[in-house]
Each structure stands twice: as structure tokens, then as C-alpha cells.
């Protein structure tokens, strides 16, 4: 919260637990997250501190796989290939932000596409 108050750029990763689709990760403001139990907790704690936006996060809108009676105990907390993708998305965002700050590339290129 100190970074937010001091206007220091920060990006954080939200939950990857019980998610199976690594292609859904995106970088958005914390206020735009949904279907993410960890993000819900973080939003609540930030609101308690008077902060409702301004934190960039990596999140996936995919609904977490629910534990049913049939699957109880067999749904992993994280599938090995999903969290690394969230980290790569975050790294790409940071590199683009640094390059934009140095005016090497245009800012706010959220298209993800290159030439």
C-alpha cells in the first residue's frame, strides 16, 4: 500500500489456483477483476485502506474449478503450467512499461501483438 500511496508503479499477480486455462491471463486494474477469490480479498483490504483502484494486477477471469463430492481431494491447488504463465504475462507488462517510460515504445499498448 505504501507504493500506491507514493505513486510507485507496481503490478501483482492474483490467484492461479484451480485454474486450467493459461491463455486467459490479462493485466487490468484491481477494480476490474472478477471470478478471482484472491483478488476479492485484496480489493476488500485495499478498500479498508481507502484505495479502490490504481493497482495493476495479472488475473484470469476463468472460474476456478470447483471441488465437487466426486472430485473432492483430487483437484490440485495449482496446475504446474498455469502459474508460470501468469509470471510471464507480468514480466512482459513490466518490460513494456519500462520501455514506454524510456520512450522506446509507445505507452498503453495492451493489444499484446507485435510486428
Question: Cα–Cα distance between 33 and 58 in angstroms, integer?
Answer: 9
Among 15-24, 59-68, 101-110, the least confident range: 101-110
Please write the tens of the pLDDT for every residue from 77-109: 788 899 999 999 999 999 999 999 888 877 665
Task: Tell whether pTM > 0.85.
Answer: no
Amino acid at each position: 500500500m505504501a507504493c500506491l500511496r507514493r505513486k510507485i508503479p507496481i503490478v501483482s499477480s492474483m490467484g492461479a489456483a484451480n485454474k486450467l486455462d493459461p491463455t486467459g491471463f490479462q493485466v487490468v486494474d484491481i477494480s476490474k477483476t472478477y471470478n478471482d477469490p484472491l483478488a476479492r480479498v485484496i480489493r476488500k483490504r485495499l478498500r479498508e485502506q481507502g484505495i479502490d483502484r490504481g493497482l495493476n494486477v495479472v488475473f484470469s477471469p476463468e472460474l476456478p474449478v470447483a471441488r465437487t463430492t466426486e472430485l473432492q481431494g483430487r483437484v490440485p491447488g495449482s496446475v504446474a503450467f498455469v502459474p508460470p504463465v501468469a509470471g510471464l504475462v507480468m514480466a512482459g507488462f513490466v518490460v513494456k512499461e519500462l520501455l514506454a517510460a524510456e520512450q522506446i515504445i509507445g505507452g498503453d499498448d495492451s493489444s499484446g501483438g507485435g510486428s
